[in-house]
Amino acid sequence: MRRAMNRNYKPALLALEDGRVFSCHSFTGHGQAEGEVVFNTSMTGYQEMLTDPSYCGQMVMMTYPLIGNYGVAPEDMESGQIHAQALLVKEYQMEPSNQRSVETLAGFLERHGVMGIEALDTRALTLHIRKSGAMRAFVSTLERDPHTCVDMARAIPAMQGRDLTGAASTVVPYRWQGGQKYLLSLTDLSLGERVWKFKGNRPSVVAFDFGIKHNILKCLEVFGFEVIVMPATTKAETARAMAPDGIFLSNGPGDPEPAVAAVNTIRDLIGFRPMFGICLGHQLMAIALGGNTYKLKFGHRGGNQPVINMTTGKVDITSQNHGFAVDAESLNQSDIEITHLNLNDRTVEGFRHRRWPLFAVQYHPEAAPGPHDSVYLFSEFQKMTKEFHKSKNQPKLKIGGTHL
């Protein structure tokens, strides 16, 4: 009866590249979508996931069975648009109950031209992905021949080998202030270090946008940073000319290995200022330091990933969204200390350099959605920038006519 009331409810097929086909229905009308199918184990946060640029090129499946019950709220946006290719759920709730809601999930998806799929056996699909790995898929209400749909899935570019660092990035630099974007012009950037409004009063940070989330920027601001966000294609000399107190490397989509331009920029900036990387930024920093990355079988996506801090022994429950990981054996551990490990599979979740002021984590300490166990990392970055600034301005010791 409920489905009969929805005139946009259409039969559909979901086909995987390995030949398996699932029947399902669209709750957003006719359409089709393609991308790598991945699953997320969080019970809430579908709006944040949909608008997270890290999901560019992927269809997100929720393992929690009932989705849509709290609707959509403007303050839960992690970017200005939906980046996921489609949302796949077991059961969609048409009538949200939440005082913050201004729109249904279906209306939100339709407005952005993104398919919503329900009546899908998400348990079976999740188990299949866990066994066979994340894979390309094609979903359609228009094409109903299974063999054609499988062929369409196999024609999709694979995630491995794709540099998407620029796909979800801003193309115009902007200042983040008071939770708002203020676009910068070439004239603004030509000011160099005079571009900062609060230089000397707040630590300044250049944030490289590989697919940055709004809540990361909010956290940086809460911890006292003045933030200017730069496109993924920004050169090292531009960042140097701005003379920030710190460099931040954001999350983002795609395979880090082919992102050669971003890696070269990061390598040029190592040692220039304190550096903090999250997710894709963690992977790119590792490569810039001589390490390698590899694709996980089905990735880590959810709000309940246990991570141990190897320095303190403390375990944080973390929010994660990534399909690639840093190869621990590839890191020069005489220079690099692995600081965090995933307790489920022992993959690298964080590292720091023993000599240079830089560190990175694979998970999302801004936690939108998710637990706030790791938000302290923004405070650690703040301390690092202050200590670096203090040491930089201290007079050097003079011993035997030599400045140290």
Q: Is 302 left (phi over 0), alpha (psi -120 to 50) or beta?
A: left
Cα–Cα distance, 178 to 284 (Å, whole number): 29
Establish whether 24 is a catalytic residue.
no
CA distance 127 to 150: 19
What is the rounded distance in angstroms from the CA atom of residue 60 to the CA atom of residue 218? 25
Out of 128, 300, 353, 364, pick the active-site residue: 364
- Separation CA 166–CA 181 (nearest Å): 19
Query: Which residue in 26, 22, 32 sits closest to 7, CA to CA?
Result: 26
Sorted by sequence, the CB contacts under 8 Å of residue 325 that are 6+ apart come out as: 283, 293, 294, 296, 347, 348, 362
| Cβ neighbours of residue 63 closer than 8 Å, sequence gap 6 or more | 39, 40, 41, 122, 123, 126
For the question of residue 279 being annotated catalytic, the response is: yes
Q: How far apart are CA 72 and CA 87, in angstroms?
A: 14
- CA pair distance 83, 33, nearest whole angstrom: 12
366 a catalytic residue: yes
Distances (CA, A) of 32 to 57, 121, 165, 284, 359: 14, 18, 25, 33, 41
Options 78, 128, 279, 349, the catalytic residue: 279
Contact 27, 118 (CB under 8 A): yes
Comparing CA positions, the residue from 179, 167, 253 lying closest to residue 214 is 179
The structure tokens listed for 212 are 């940055």
Identified catalytic residue from 34, 110, 226, 366: 366
The C-alpha atoms of residue 404 and residue 396 are separated, in whole angstroms, by 6
Burial of residue 142 (number of CB atoms within 10 Å: 0-12, 13-18, 19+): exposed
Active site residues: 279, 364, 366
